[in-house]
Structure 1
């Protein structure tokens, strides 16, 4: 990976999962990383999860970067505005913005129809997935465009190609994840004149803290989960998509991706990085060619 020393990054929603993996890899490349989220060592969000933004900042520091934890609810305009003012005061620039705010896993009511799904949960999901990204962009982009070469990464689930061909139950979830892809496309048009780049990016089947807990495994024995879900064999760590972000941030020709929908597996083939175990999972090709095709789980040739 190319050095990102001197680069200032904001990982909005970096408490756990992809956000944590991204913050870690940006730190490993030498960047200064602001990590936002709602859960701190003194206050827990509605998630009720144990991971904190301070832990993420410490992991960034251990890898050679500078991690700065800031408690922010990205639905509260004033908190986001104050965050950006702080970044500008302390560094005068913002080079990398990663919008990984989500917070909707526990709001999804399975494969329910729109009239069956909790309306309260569904609308909350959309606010967390879409409003947060728009609010953050509104306040952060004036700082990012002060310098040419800025990069915005909108994190989602699924590529544009996959989501356009497959309905992602329930409707609220489908709208949440597809809308983020459209946000990135819109930003690409608006940022182009400032020589900045915007893309959407998806991990594959990610071994987040929540997913590992779901299967009752740890990272060390994650393969035990394949006994319950054989296709989990294609899964990847959050640091894999983190390395995808670091690769994009270190690419002097990153504008070639402007407006595109990207995946960790696709970028690994282009930039040559691997997951922490040395493999290169290509999840979305696997999902189409093996999982959705009804074939037995077998990751040979896909990682």
Structure 2
């Protein structure tokens, strides 16, 4: 198997499980050294009742041909994030090629039994939802990017990916969620503008419906939508393809869609499937 990212160093935030884990695995397949951050270090101790640990993800990265390094980090704490970047600086001689901002907050109500997309409107949602999505999500992305950028600027290359979602462009997926994801998209565009003279790219990346542990726990809710779903590793393969593309600067500042990148770069999902783009699926009258 080709490993175009052999020698490259990546940081994936929030990678104990879900999309973050899939991104780490996709980068591992491509041969990268992947620093895996998250809060869960022992099964059963996660903030939500789902499996997965940072060590488990790191071990799988190594098994796939990369090198996984687990680092416990709560990205709501700027100093913990700073410590991760400084560790990478020290251990990798200042090299950081890829930062994937995936960590997020505000999903607890999908798993704690209190709600599952049943609220009548934003006025019925707790204000803490907004705070969690913007502190553990948007702000955490900004801080990790600001601390990582100097390493990339010093080398004259690098890629920052904000994992986002089409909720940023839709009106029916929650006010807090849509606003937070739109902020991530706008952040990537503005960062791209400032980083372009330094040869560093920044993009926003949309998966479709991803078969994460949380989605599969509620598989009956998604029903037929799962027919056009994606594995978490599919998103990782999209990130790996971008990181290996010598022309990635041409995409800097853009909102990209994993399934569309699959067609462009020629990769498939782990089962050989070629999912439809989330925009195509939505235009066809069905959810992604």
- Cα distance, 1:112–1:126 mapped onto 2, change above 3 Å: farther
Calculate the TM-score normalised by the size of structure 2.
0.91
Pairs aligned (count) = 279
Aligned-partner Cα distance in 1 for 2:160–2:32: 15
Instruction: Tell me the CA shift for residue 2 of structure 1.
Output: 5.2
Residue in 1 aligned with 2:98?
96
Q: Which one of 106, 109, 112 corresponds to residue 108 of structure 2?
A: 106
Q: Tell me the SS of whatever aligns to 1:153.
A: strand
Q: Which runs of 4+ in 1 moved over 3 A?
A: none
Whether 2:160 is the aligned partner of 1:152: answer: yes
Calculate the TM-score normalised by the size of structure 1.
0.87
Q: Which one of 211, 221, 224 corresponds to residue 215 of structure 2?
A: 211
Q: Tell me the SS of whatever aligns to 1:30.
A: coil
Residue in 2 aligned with 1:257?
251
Residue in 2 aligned with 1:236?
230
Q: Which moved more, 1:76-85 or 1:137-146?
A: 137-146
Q: Tell me the SS of whatever aligns to 1:115.
A: helix
Gaps of 5+ in 2: none
Aligned-partner Cα distance in 1 for 2:129–2:238: 31
- What's the CA shift string for 1:71-127, capped at 9, x where partnerless? 001110111111111100001210100000113322466344222111123322222
Aligned-partner Cα distance in 1 for 2:28–2:240: 9
Whether 2:150 is the aligned partner of 1:142: answer: yes
- Cα distance, 1:210–1:43 mapped onto 2, change above 3 Å: closer
Residue in 2 aligned with 1:296?
none
- What's the CA shift string for 1:22-77, capped at 9, x where partnerless? 11111111110000001112783422433100000000010011000000011101
- Cα distance, 1:42–1:106 mapped onto 2, change above 3 Å: closer
Residue in 2 aligned with 1:167?
171
Q: Which one of 125, 128, 132 corresponds to residue 124 of structure 1?
A: 132
- Whether contact under 8 Å (1:2, 1:250) holds in the other structure is no
- Whether contact under 8 Å (1:28, 1:63) holds in the other structure is yes
Gaps of 5+ in 1: 216-224, 293-298
Residue in 2 aligned with 1:34?
35
Q: Which one of 179, 188, 191 corresponds to residue 187 of structure 1?
A: 191
Q: Tell me the SS of whatever aligns to 1:193.
A: helix
- Cα distance, 1:68–1:120 mapped onto 2, change above 3 Å: same
